[in-house]
């Protein structure tokens, strides 16, 4: 990935990627972290590492409320690490405490993806705890209706449809530069 266009750009705080399951937060986040030369973290991976259980196990054994509690703690820890790219699980930004903490400590980017693309991705990417026991298309539609107004509270919205990961990362980098520049102007 060509970093030359971004060589004099650095982020002053964590960049937090939010969006629906299947939006590409992890893959795009890793590429974006490479462009920014900062560490990449994934909140779900942090929770799994800390608890020794998979996200699916936590949902199954302890429920969504316990998972969200663990998620809040993980996000707080990860934001304390300074500039980085942090990929959140799809529901994390829905939690008011987590969202407010991110607003105070980080710059949030909503990876917005067309629902048909999301559905295609989640149907081919394996188990998603929130889809278990539901018609995936109906549940995804319901989640989009609930989450879209909250995701829209992100500091930046980036349309990330079916382009290559590297292209989406470069697009976000360009948009991030412009947004952070306008904040300091």
Do residues 108 and 157 make contact, with C-beta atoms less than 8 angstroms apart? no
**What domain range includes position 97?**
10-184
* Residue 1 maps to a domain: no
* Residue 133 maps to a domain: yes
* Residue 167 maps to a domain: yes
* Residue 2 maps to a domain: no
Q: What is the dihedral of CA 147, 161, 64, 103, to 10 degrees?
A: -60
Give the CATH number, domain containing residue 66: 3.40.50.300
Whole-angstrom distance, CA of residue 158 vs CA of residue 175: 8
Q: Is the dihedral of CA 77, 82, 88, 94 positive or negative?
A: positive
Count: domains in the chain: 1
Task: Write the pLDDT tens digit of every residue in 55-90.
Answer: 889 988 998 889 999 999 999 999 999 999 999 988
* Residue 168 maps to a domain: yes
E strands in 8-102: 15-18, 40-42, 85-87
* Residue 62 maps to a domain: yes
Which residues fall within 8 angstroms of residue 152, CB to CB, at 6 or more apart? Answer: 110
As separate numbers, helices (DSSP H) first and strands (DSSP E) second, the chain gives 7, 5
Task: Write the pLDDT tens digit of every residue in 125-182.
Answer: 655 555 565 667 787 888 899 999 999 999 999 999 888 999 999 999 999 999 988 8
Which residues fall within 8 angstroms of residue 124, CB to CB, at 6 or more apart? Answer: none
Whole-angstrom distance, CA of residue 152 vs CA of residue 146: 11
* Residue 4 maps to a domain: no
Overall pTM surpassing 0.85 (yes/no):
yes
Q: Buried b vs exposed e over 18-37: b needs ≥16 C-beta within 10 Å?
A: bbbbbbbbeebbebbbebbe
């Amino acid at each position: 990935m060509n970093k030359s266009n971004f060589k004099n750009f650095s982020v002053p705080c964590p960049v937090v990627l939010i969006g629906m399951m299947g939006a590409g937060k992890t893959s795009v986040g890793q590429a974006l972290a490479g462009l920014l030369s900062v560490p990449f973290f994934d909140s779900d991976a942090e929770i799994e590492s800390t608890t020794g259980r998979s996200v699916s196990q936590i949902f199954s054994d302890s429920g969504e409320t316990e998972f969200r509690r663990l998620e809040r703690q993980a996000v707080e820890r990860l934001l304390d690490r300074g500039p980085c790219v942090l990929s959140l699980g799809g529901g994390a930004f829905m939690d008011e405490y987590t969202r407010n903490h991110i607003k105070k400590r980080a710059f949030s980017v909503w990876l917005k993806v067309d629902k048909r693309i999301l559905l295609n991705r989640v149907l081919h990417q394996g188990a998603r705890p929130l889809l278990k026991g539901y018609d995936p298309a109906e549940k995804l539609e319901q989640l989009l209706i609930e989450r879209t107004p909250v995701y829209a509270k992100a500091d930046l919205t980036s349309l990330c449809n079916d382009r290559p990961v590297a292209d989406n990362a470069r697009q976000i980098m360009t948009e991030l530069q412009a947004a952070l520049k306008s904040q300091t102007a």
